[in-house]
Amino acid sequence: METFTFACNVNMNVNYSGEKGLVEIPSAVNVPFDLNVDDCPNLRTIAPDLVVGDRLSMRRCTSLKSFPDNMYIPGRLILSGCSGLELIGEGLKVGDGLYLDGCTSLTELPKDLHVESGIIELTGCEGIRIPQEVIDRHANGALINFPDNYSIIPKQA
């Protein structure tokens, strides 16, 4: 497989969709608008200091196992079809919709997950455990689209 070099600081939308050689989004990447890395099947790592000005789309990045702690995505975060995704880091904040549909390896949402508006799409995340705190936090904000089979983790006293 050919190695792929990621442009770290650009002043535009960035589209690396379908890049088979992309295995990581390295440290110090700053994209002021949208970043699209859909269909990058070998993408495994995202640096925790990634800055995206609006939307981050990572559909069908099947080798991605985890999403970093304390990330802020001001627009939509689209991880649909990331079937290898097992962990969403603590402290994730999303501005306009979180799409996790088809993330079949994801077993639990972090209790401090916050989506400001839009939807939390969980269709196909069968058996996922959802903290009551997440449900309560989004009662008057983002709509949660639950999978057919899920469980709720009670609040801890």
Radius of gyration in angstroms for the set of CA atoms belonging to the chain, rounded to a whole number? 15
Do the Cβ atoms of 112 and 88 come closer than 8 Å?
no
pLDDT of res. 56: 96
pLDDT in tens, 32-73: 899 999 999 999 999 999 999 999 999 999 999 999 999 999
Q: Residue 2 and residue 118: Cα distance in Å, rounded? A: 38
The pLDDT tens digits for 67-126 are: 999 999 999 999 999 999 999 999 999 999 999 999 999 999 999 999 999 999 999 999
| Mean pLDDT value across residues 2-9 | 56
Rounded to two decimals, the pTM is 0.91
Q: Residue 152: pLDDT above 50? A: yes
Predicted confidence band of residue 1 (pLDDT cuts 50, 70, 90): very low
Q: What b/e readout covers 61-94, taking b as 16+ CB neighbours within 10 angstroms?
A: bbebeebbeebebbbbbbbbbbebbebbbeebbb
DSSP string, the chain: ----PPP-B-SS-EE-TT-TT--EE-TT-EESS-EE-TT-TT--EE-TT-EESS-EE-TT-TT--EE-TT-EESS-EE-TT-TT--EE-TT-EEEEEEE-TT-TT--B--TT-EEEEEEEE-TT-TTEEEEHHHHHHTTTSSEEE--SSEEEEPPP-
pLDDT at 35: 93
